[in-house]
Amino acid sequence: MALALQGLTAHYLATSTVPLGATSRALVHAAAGGVGQLLTQIARQRGAEVFATVSTEEKAAVAFQAGAHHVILYTQTDFATEVERLAGSRALDVVYDSVGKDTFEKGLALLRPRGTMVLFGQSSGPVAPVDPQVLSRGGSLFLTRPTLADYLRGPGEFRQRFNDLVTWWTQGNLKVNVARKFPLTEAGVAQSFLESRGALGKIVLIADKSL
């Protein structure tokens, strides 16, 4: 099911790592990707104000459709400067960063005192070692590097998260955007398409029905 893995990731990020609510302000990097779209939808559903970054106009439209309030093309403007302009005097509560090296330091600077940096990927490369004093100087910031396995501790937690996703999807409150479908025999082609960064959503491999 296209919803499962990325949906579970988006669920724990928005409901457990940093439980979002009506007063939350969140930045979602790579908001037009599979996790990004789902995370944006769940964040919006929980009442958060969502700032999103994308690389192209086409991806910006996808992020807006997912519910982002503000979409920033980081290829055209410095995302940190633009977030500061849009956010005004009230800084962000959380940054959801799946990019890593290229965005991490600027993201930290956008957080309010006791805000949280959620680093859950590194598509641009790993983040350099962090001096804990950086978190202190930023206002007693929190930094976490979560993984899905630690948020599925036992069948009960898995069922609760998965049931939420299915309920939201059934009710039309959560949409899964499948970018392309490939037969399993073309897994290499699918990988190349993924690496091209042209995917606007989930890539699905379909098993050969003759097997």
- pLDDT at position 180, please? 72
Q: Per-residue pLDDT tens for 111-130?
A: 999 999 999 999 999 999 99
What's the CA gap between 111 and 95, in Å, rounded?
Answer: 7
| Predicted confidence band of residue 49 (pLDDT cuts 50, 70, 90) | very high
Q: Tell me the residue range of the domain where 190 lies.
A: 177-211
Whether 172 is in a domain gets the answer: no
User: Does residue 162 register a pLDDT over 60?
Assistant: yes
This prediction's pTM: 0.89
134 and 190 part of one domain: no
Task: Give, in degrees to the nearest 5, the angle at Cα 22 between 112 and 153.
Answer: 85
**% of the chain at pLDDT higher than 90:** 81
Q: Evaluate whether residue 113 is within a structural domain.
A: yes
Does one domain contain both 106 and 194? no
163 or 204: which leads in pLDDT: 163
Percent above pLDDT 70 for the chain = 89
In a shared domain, residues 129 and 55: yes
- pLDDT-derived band of residue 188, with 50, 70 and 90 as boundaries? confident
Decide if 171 is inside a domain.
no
Give the pLDDT score at 181. 72
Q: Are residues 147 and 181 in the same domain?
A: no
- Asked if 127 and 191 sit in the same domain, the reply is no
For residue 122, what is the domain's CATH number? 3.40.50.720
